[in-house]
């Protein structure tokens, strides 16, 4: 099967031999993808003219209804997706649900936001400022849809959620999307898009898909377009530095890799609920999607006095995890998405091992079949006794089931160690002490896009360290790329232009009559 691209209103088969896509359990080729021969400039022009005008004629409420339609089509075809996610991504049922049902729920969430904005097409911010001595001239900010395309380049680990969360936000903002899934796991994105296109409910030009490497895509973007990129820091930097991106002033949002941390508070003792929850979250980081989540916990900082008990509890959790072919329902840890990822993860674990002791994992715990034919990596727990004097544990992201536990001697020191990730997507803190929460909120804020504090009141009701909620922004400073996605209405800012309107009350009355008032 050769995956086709959907551009200029039709399915297009790329020319020449494509990149092989494999089943990561068996190594067997299941599809190939190439975008060679796709005329990217024509595809962009078509989306700009057809898609922009179609969405521009719709209110927020109507765009929300389109998102609801998409989610209904995906729900109707839901039974086909688990199998694809298993075959192409090595997903267990739970892994697939996080990706597929996560995609459906983010579409539904933005559909509801659309409904709440009613029949308007503009947004205006609450509050105005008087700009003249007499109260006759005022300033207020409003937002309009940009007449360009949202180019969405995604990583391999979330072929469903990654594509639809970006499409949901852009569509509601009135901007057509051109999605480019990562080649190695593009089967699911391709199938979902085909289901939606074939249902015939989405106006021409609104949804576009490029399967394959996307040659020429970056050269085809123009000043009103945007690029939302999720992937490695290296590719993110290449995109930022691309000549056409620099010259055209395209908006770029980068979601890159990250050394996310969890802190066990100084008030948390073994045997308590918070200790157990922190252990559970760490074990989840070593099993769900085989650790291939961008927000996954990579480093855990624990008070030195209880580090041994914490590590023992995590190791006991690892020992219960079944690694293997997700076709077996007992399996909790599937393979990484391909041999190349396995190789990179094992090299990374070896590098971390120079600074940390291996308590569980590495490649030796897997039977040779899993290791040789499949892209498996055993859940790996490392212990680094000297985090302050170490470097690699704070800088190298092993994109697989690998966590390093480390001690801190006082909480200030623990906070400083968390910041050594250089800017991360997510950090979590398990503590019931208000003073600890206060320190965490102050110190961790600038270094992280999201801080999850689990205290006794929230307990097990928390949404999970790694789970991205559409209500909250997703992205992080520094090394994590400096981008922001989602966050309810905040996500629309990438696709809309904020303009300061200066004028009389009469002028502002016209704006108010034509815009939904929001707080952004």
Contact residues toward ligand NAP (CB under 6 A) are: 153-157, 180, 182-184, 213-214, 217-218, 230-232, 235, 255-257, 294, 397, 399, 425
Q: Which is nearer to ligand NAP, 157 or 439 (CB)?
A: 157
Q: How far apart are CA 301 and CA 415, in angstroms?
A: 9
* Smallest separation (angstroms) from ligand NAP to the CB of 258: 6
Using the Cα atoms of residue 329, residue 331, residue 332 and residue 335 in order, give the sign of their dihedral: negative
* Smallest separation (angstroms) from ligand NAP to the CB of 230: 4
Chain centroid to CA 259: 14
Encode burial over 97-109: b for 16+ CB neighbours within 10 A, e otherwise.
Answer: bbbbbbbbbbbbb
* Smallest separation (angstroms) from ligand NAP to the CB of 99: 11
52 near 67, Cβ under 8 Å?
Answer: no
* Smallest separation (angstroms) from ligand NAP to the CB of 234: 6
Q: Which is nearer to ligand NAP, 85 or 311 (CB)?
A: 85
DSSP codes joined into one string, 418-478 = HHTTSSEEEEEEE---HHHHHHHHHHHGGGEEEEEEE-TTTGGGS--SSPPPTTSEE--SG
* Smallest separation (angstroms) from ligand NAP to the CB of 38: 12
Q: How far apart are CA 303 and CA 406, in angstroms?
A: 9
Question: Known catalytic residue: 124?
Answer: no
Catalytic residue (choose from 4, 32, 165, 255)? 255
Question: Known catalytic residue: 255?
Answer: yes
Q: Which is nearer to ligand NAP, 64 or 214 (CB)?
A: 214
Catalytic residue (choose from 89, 124, 211, 294)? 294
Q: Which is nearer to ligand NAP, 287 or 338 (CB)?
A: 338
Across-strand partners of 503? 138
Q: How far apart are CA 202 and CA 192, in angstroms?
A: 13
Query: In a 10 Å sphere around its CB, with 0-12 CB exposed, 13-18 middle and 19+ buried, how is residue 385 labelled?
Result: middle
Q: Which is nearer to ligand NAP, 370 or 480 (CB)?
A: 480
Residue sitting closest to ligand NAP (CB): 231
Q: Which residue in 466, 459, 453 sits closest to 426, CA to CA?
A: 466
* Smallest separation (angstroms) from ligand NAP to the CB of 305: 32
Q: Which is nearer to ligand NAP, 66 or 425 (CB)?
A: 425
Residue 435 CB coordination number (10 Å)? 12
43 near 208, Cβ under 8 Å?
Answer: yes
**Catalytic residue IDs:** 255, 294
């Amino acid at each position: 099967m050769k995956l086709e691209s959907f551009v200029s209103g039709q399915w297009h088969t790329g020319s020449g031999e494509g990149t092989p896509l494999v089943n990561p359990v068996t190594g067997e080729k299941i599809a190939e993808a190439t975008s060679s021969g796709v005329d990217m400039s024509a595809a962009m022009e078509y989306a700009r003219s057809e898609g922009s005008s179609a969405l521009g004629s719709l209110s927020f409420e109507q765009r929300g209804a389109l998102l609801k339609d998409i989610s209904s089509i995906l729900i109707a075809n839901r039974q086909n997706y688990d199998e694809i996610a298993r075959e192409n991504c090595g997903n267990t049922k739970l892994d697939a649900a996080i990706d597929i049902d996560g995609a459906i729920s983010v579409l539904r969430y933005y559909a509801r936001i659309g409904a709440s904005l009613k029949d308007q097409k503009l947004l205006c911010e609450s509050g105005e400022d008087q700009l003249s001595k007499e109260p006759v001239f005022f300033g207020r900010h409003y937002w309009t849809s940009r007449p360009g395309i949202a180019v969405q380049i995604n990583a391999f680990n979330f072929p469903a959620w990654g594509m639809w969360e970006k499409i949901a936000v852009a569509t509601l903002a009135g901007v057509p999307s051109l999605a480019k899934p990562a080649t190695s796991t593009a089967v699911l994105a391709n199938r979902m898009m085909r289901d939606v296109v074939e249902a015939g409910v989405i106006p021409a030009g609104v949804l576009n898909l490029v399967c394959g490497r996307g040659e020429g895509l970056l050269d085809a973007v123009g000043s009103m377009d945007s690029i939302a990129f999720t992937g490695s820091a290296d590719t993110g930097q290449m995109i930022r530095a691309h000549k056409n991106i620099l010259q055209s002033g395209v908006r770029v949002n980068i979601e890159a890799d990250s050394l996310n941390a969890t802190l066990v508070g100084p008030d948390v003792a073994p045997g308590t609920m918070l200790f157990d929850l922190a252990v559970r979250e760490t074990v989840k980081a070593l099993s769900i999607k085989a650790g291939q989540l961008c927000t996954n916990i990579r480093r855990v900082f624990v008070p030195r006095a209880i580090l041994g008990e914490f590590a023992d509890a995590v190791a006991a959790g690892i020992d219960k995890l079944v690694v293997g072919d997700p076709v077996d329902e007992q399996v909790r840890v599937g393979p990484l998405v391909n041999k190349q990822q396995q190789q990179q993860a094992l090299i990374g674990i070896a590098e971390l091992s120079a600074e940390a002791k291996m308590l569980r994992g590495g490649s030796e715990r897997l039977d040779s079949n899993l290791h040789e034919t499949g892209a498996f990596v055993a859940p790996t727990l490392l212990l680094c006794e000297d985090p302050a004097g170490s470097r690699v544990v704070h800088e190298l992201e092993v994109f697989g089931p690998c966590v390093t536990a480390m001690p801190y001697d006082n909480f200030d020191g623990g906070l400083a160690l968390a910041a050594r990730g250089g800017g991360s997507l997510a950090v979590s803190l398990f503590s019931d002490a208000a003073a600890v929460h206060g320190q965490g909120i102050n110190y961790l804020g600038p270094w992280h896009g999201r801080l999850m504090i689990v205290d006794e009141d929230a307990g097990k009701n928390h949404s999970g360290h790694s789970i991205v909620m559409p209500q909250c922004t997703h992205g992080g400073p520094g090394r994590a790329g400096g981008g922001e996605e989602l966050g309810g209405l905040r996500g629309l800012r990438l696709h809309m232009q904020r303009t300061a309107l200066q004028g009389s009350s009469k002028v502002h009355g016209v704006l108010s009559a034509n815009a939904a008032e929001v707080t952004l």
